Structure 1
Amino acid sequence: MALNEVENGDAGESLKGFYTWGRAKNYRLGRATDTNNVRRPELVAALAGIDVKQGACGGGHTCVVLLDHRLFVFGYSQYGQVGLGDRVDVNAPSQVKIMKDAHEVHDIVQVACGRYHTIALTASGDVYTWGGGKNGRLGHGDEKIRTLPAKIVALTSPVKFIACGYHSSIAITEQGVYSWGWGAHG
């Protein structure tokens, strides 16, 4: 995929549907086949007519936040980066279930993807991460692989913005910028 991230404003605006193109390996384009590369934007059939707020691409997986704050994922999941509880590639958009105190979270406002990990932000400022934890890129103080979203408890102030590098993550709060992961290059 040539596109790293698409975001469509903060005013509640949305795009109808979601388009992908590029290398199709590991179902990263959200289609039932992973053999046909796509040279021009094509609609992901499962998201046709759906209000999309934001999309983000990792090293082989794709995440889509809908205007109703649900999060859908598809693609490569060797490290659990799609967040569905296993390490199996996902060939069609599937909803991620994020749990907090035994209740499902329905307020995802932003998502970011690294090469093998994913980070999501809720409207209340909580941050959840999952996928490959090498170099501490998930922010949980260890290097474990997590196949389900886990809240970063070390972030005690509400987060306003998140982003990922290939092997790192950041969160911005009113108190400052927090970063974690592989720091060999800055």
Structure 2
Amino acid sequence: MRMTYCIVFVESDTVPPPLYWHSNLEAVRMRWFGFGFNAFGQVYVGGRVNDDDTANEVKVITPIELTCNVDGSCRTNISGLRASWSRRATLHSNGTHCLSGFNAASGICVTGFTDVIVGESFLILAFPDRIESWDLDNDRKTPVWRMDVKTPSDGTGTPPNLPLISDGYIALKPPFYRPLSPHLKATRLALGAGHSVLLSASGTVYAWGLGSHGQLGHGGLLYEEQPRVVEALWGMTMSCVAAGGWHTVCVSDAGDMYVWGWNESGQLGLPSHVERKTGHHPTSQEIADLSSYKETPEGEKDKEVFTISIQAFPALLDVTPSCDIKMVGCGSRHTAAVTSAGDLYTWGWGQYGQLGYETPYSDEPRCVEFFREQQMRVVDVTCGTWNTFAAVVKEEVAAS
């Protein structure tokens, strides 16, 4: 029996409406779609996607428009979204927030917050003057941790988007607050399973934490305690960073995409042992055994097929046909990218439909055709651990 809980937060009217601005400055309202792992209702709230197919209760392959209520309301006022493995937090411009998924404690009721991140045990809320952490594993009516924050010195009056805050960043596990050196001047931060990737105001990328799968981009597999610049990208201005479980992706101002880290499911978009050689998710020993595997089209083991398990330095990844990348998102073992033309490409592990098309793995970026077919332009993407969420606007069709 599946249990789904929903919690609604009421806040002040400080969240901007979910509008996307075209080049002609006409505002168009965004709609959000989700696909992938749905065992706890974090994509589809309120029941099965298709009552005739119980498998769809666990996975959603075709993108479905997000709602907060079973009756289909709250479709068009989502202004932001955060996701973890079993939960999805949506921010709404009408003054509410909704947490969907596993064990969402129903007793949390607060007002006035401006941002949220959600994990498996804790919910982090950002206010103009403080940060609070709420324990999702019990029904206590007060936060388990809170911290006052300073007003940014740049005069904006509000702290940067979570997980960044003034003077540091917030993690989803204790200790919740981690300090950062002021000289970094961080503008964006992405947190992986055990590593962190920071983008500075100058477009420089720093990485630290666990490096066992090459996810830091420093060329080795060692742990880094302090932020260290990714030297292979030095001199190139980056505009976006994303961190998966054990891989990292960033995008340059010129629209080029760079990838590094673990590639066992093809999540880097580079040739993968798994994609080429197996039909199931491998064990670590199977991955090691495949490193010497050779095969010809006739099945003879005498022709080596080039594959990559770990990419410890940033590698330039091209999407075919050639296009500029605007933003990226990373799940545990999959990646999603939005192009300047408004297309969504995904690759990596797809066992639960998180790629938006039917395949267990893909080591090549493939377009999610659903949005093209529906004449929708993708303008934003965020990934949960095993799912993907995309914000879209309706394409303008020229009159004949």
TM-score, normalization by structure 2: 0.39
2:241 is the counterpart of 1:55: yes
SS of equivalent to 1:27: coil
For residues 114 and 57 of structure 1, the distance between their equivalents in structure 2, rounded to whole angstroms, comes to 8
Structure 1 residues 139 and 81, CA gap change in structure 2 (3 angstroms):
same
CA deviation string 1:34-93 (max 9, x = no partner): 0x2111110111011210101100000000100110000000111000002324210100
- Say if 2:373 is the partner of 1:135: no
- Tell me by how many angstroms 1:158 deviates: 0.7
Q: How does 1:150-165 map to 2 (within 5 A)?
A: 150-156=366-372, 157-165=376-384
Q: Which residue in 2 is equivalent to 1:92?
A: 313
**Counterpart of 1:145?**
361
- Give the partner amino acid of 2:253: L
- Any residues of structure 2 matched to 1:101-116 within 5 Å, and which? 104-105=322-323, 107-116=324-333
CA distance in 2, matches of 1:154, 1:14: 35
Q: Could you tell me how far apart the structure 2 residues matched to 1:7 and 1:120 are?
A: 19
Q: Is the 8 A contact 1:110 1:121 kept in 2?
A: yes
Match of 2:215 in 1: 28
1:99 partner amino acid: T
- The alignment-based identity, stated in percent, is 30
Query: Which whole-Å CA distance do the structure 2 matches of 1:7 and 1:169 have between them?
Result: 22
| Alpha-carbon distance between aligned partners in 2 of 1:125 and 1:27, rounded to the nearest angstrom | 30
Q: Highest CA radius of gyration, 1 or 2? A: 2
User: Which structure carries more strand by proportion?
Assistant: 1
| Counterpart residue type for residue 361 of structure 2 | I
User: Which of 164, 167, 172 pairs up with 2:391?
Assistant: 172
Say whether residues 1:71 and 2:288 are aligned partners: no
Report the counterpart of residue 184 of structure 1 in structure 2: none
Structure 2: state its 5+ residue gaps.
1-170, 172-188, 192-196, 274-308, 395-400
Q: Which string of whole-angstrom CA distances, capped at 9 and with x for unpartnered residues, describes residues 116-168 of structure 1?
A: 0000000110000000001101001x132000100010112111111100000
- Pairing partner for 1:122 from 297, 322, 339: 339
CA distance in 2, matches of 1:154, 1:128: 11
Could you tell me which runs of 5 or more consecutive residues in structure 1 were left unpaired when the two chains were aligned.
176-186
How many residues align? The count is 164
1:14 Cα shift? 5.9
Distance in 2, Cα, partners of 1:14 & 1:71? 19
Q: Which residue of 2 aligns with 1:182?
A: none
Bigger mean CA offset, 119-128 vs 80-89: 80-89
Question: In the TM superposition, what is the alpha-carbon distance from 1:32 to its structure 2 partner?
Answer: 1.7
Is 2:231 the counterpart of 1:45? yes
Q: Which amino acid in structure 1 is aligned with residue 261 of structure 2?
A: G
- Aligned-partner Cα distance in 2 for 1:150–1:161: 17
TM-score, L = length of structure 1: 0.82
Give how far 1:96 is off: 0.8
SS in 2 for 1:155: helix
Q: Which runs of 4+ in 1 moved over 4 A?
A: 5-8
User: What's the counterpart of residue 64 of structure 2?
Assistant: none
Q: C-alpha separation between the residues in 2 aligned to 1:85 and 1:158?
A: 29
1:7 positional shift: 8.6
